[in-house]
Amino acid sequence: MDVISVIRTKRDRGELSPEQIDWVIDAYTRGVVADEQMSALAMAILLNGMNRSEIARWTAAMIASGERMNFDSLSRPTADKHSTGGVGDKITLPLAPLVAACGAAVPQLSGRGLGHTGGTLDKLESIPGWRALLSNEEMLHVLDTTGAVICAAGDGLAPADKKLYALRDVTGTVEAIPLIASSIMSKKIAEGTGSLVLDVKVGSGAFMKNIEDARELASTMVALGTDSGVKTIALLTDMSTPLGLTAGNALEVRESVEVLAGGGPADVVELTIALAKEMLDAAGIKDADPAKALADGSAMDVWRRMIQAQGGDPDAALPVAREQHTVTAPESGVLTRLDAYAVGVGAWRLGAGRARKEDPVQAGAGIELHAKPGEQVTAGQPLMTLHTDTPEKFDYALASLEGSYDIAPAGTAFTANPIVLDRIA
């Protein structure tokens, strides 16, 4: 087997054989195939695609590059959730303890933010003492004793994906749907969860800008999970407007705690409950009521135990940025648009995100929203507050927010997009 023939096969729109796929993934993981050669293959896949059998074999080869976890020792069924990423997407934080409070075990392997989308681990690390890196034994212990764990994937889980993802990020091949699907699903299948709910974001602040691409990605991932024996469901959800009223690490933790306390923004609560119902149904738990678990405090109890089990102090004050700048409404009327991508870029430029995986983030940086589309605003009223420790970043962030919202005359009719746009099973 040689890498040039593998590249030429896909370059010429051929179908890669199972043997070619197994060999090239293994050889790349071992360093036999060079980065520039795998870059050429990734670009050929982006341009010419893969069929279902190729994607399934590619995913299986990435799983085989590392270890597989097993949760058979747990007394309750497992259910996991994965989001393709968005702005203000703090849903994992209230969702994991909520589903655990309803009877499932939630082994949530999460990632860090890159670019305009936030990362769950970055958000939780704004809690004093909380740690993302757990051994497999520690992860299983936290899961067994609290019902939920949110942590980083270990180095032994799908190492081929870790290496390939970094390469795709710098070679313009991130958008390849076969590679997105296999990247996500190789980690989730290797993780060993019994069921999986996918939150595939659609809109300006999402990776998938239109519903057709999102539906294709969701269908591909559902098929991969199903073929591997994992009950998999996908919800397509709106990401044209930021979720909730915050984008930024500590800001989003604070809002998540409000949801767990029975409050919080309506859209965050709605999506959290919708995903919880899907996860519980997939895990075979039919009689639980997630809304009740939010209202009676049981989800909050799990949250506190989960944070403490990973070294965090749920009662500690969260970081607050040293500087703030308020953006006000230039006129009165109805806010009809608030672009998620622009808000995400603004938060990133303030220090909430990173351009490279090695970059630090500011725990208190981000954007706080004071109005959402459909609401009446008055000239001079605060629309958003920018938070950062480095005030020289304000102008850079404000530039990204120019043209990010529309205000129509008072009385203008407005219809919001539904949160859940479609369901694929």
Give the domain ranges of the chain: 3-49, 80-309, 323-408
Determine the residue type at 3.
V
Give the CATH H-level superfamily of domain 323-408.
Pyrimidine nucleoside phosphorylase-like, C-terminal domain (3.90.1170.30)
Inter-residue contact 159 to 65 (CB < 8 Å): yes
pLDDT mean by block of 10 residues, the chain; 425 residues: 96 98 97 96 97 95 94 94 95 98 96 83 97 94 96 90 86 89 94 96 94 95 94 98 98 98 97 98 96 97 98 98 98 98 96 81 97 98 98 97 97 94 97
Which pLDDT does position 318 carry in this prediction?
Answer: 98
Q: Specify whether 357 is catalytic.
A: no
| Among 83, 126, 182, 183, the one annotated catalytic | 183
| Among 10, 82, 90, 387, the one annotated catalytic | 82
| Among 81, 112, 168, 231, the one annotated catalytic | 168
* Three-class secondary structure of residue 121 per DSSP: helix
CATH 2.40.160.210 fits 3-49, yes or no: no
Q: Specify whether 168 is catalytic.
A: yes
User: Given strand 231-238, what is the order of strands in its sheet?
Assistant: 80-83, 195-202, 231-238, 420-424
Inter-residue contact 322 to 350 (CB < 8 Å): no
| Among 57, 187, 231, 305, the one annotated catalytic | 187
Which pLDDT does position 106 carry in this prediction?
Answer: 98
Tell me the two tokens of residue 177.
């749907």
Which pLDDT does position 358 carry in this prediction?
Answer: 72
Which pLDDT does position 153 carry in this prediction?
Answer: 87
Which pLDDT does position 357 carry in this prediction?
Answer: 66
Q: What is the DSSP annotation of 48-81?
A: H---HHHHHHHHHHHHHTS-----TTSSS-B-EE
- pTM, full prediction: 0.93
Q: Determine the Cα–Cα distance for residues 18 and 4; give it in Å rounded to an integer.
A: 16
Inter-residue contact 262 to 94 (CB < 8 Å): no
Q: CB under 8 Å to 60, separation ≥6 — which residues? A: 228
| Among 161, 199, 238, 267, the one annotated catalytic | 161
Tell me the two tokens of residue 391.
């005030």
The CATH architecture annotation of domain 80-309 reads: 3-Layer(aba) Sandwich (3.40)
Domain 3-49 and domain 323-408 have a common topology: no
Q: Specify whether 187 is catalytic.
A: yes
Q: How far is CA 293 from the centre of its chain?
A: 23
Inter-residue contact 381 to 328 (CB < 8 Å): yes
Which pLDDT does position 32 carry in this prediction?
Answer: 96
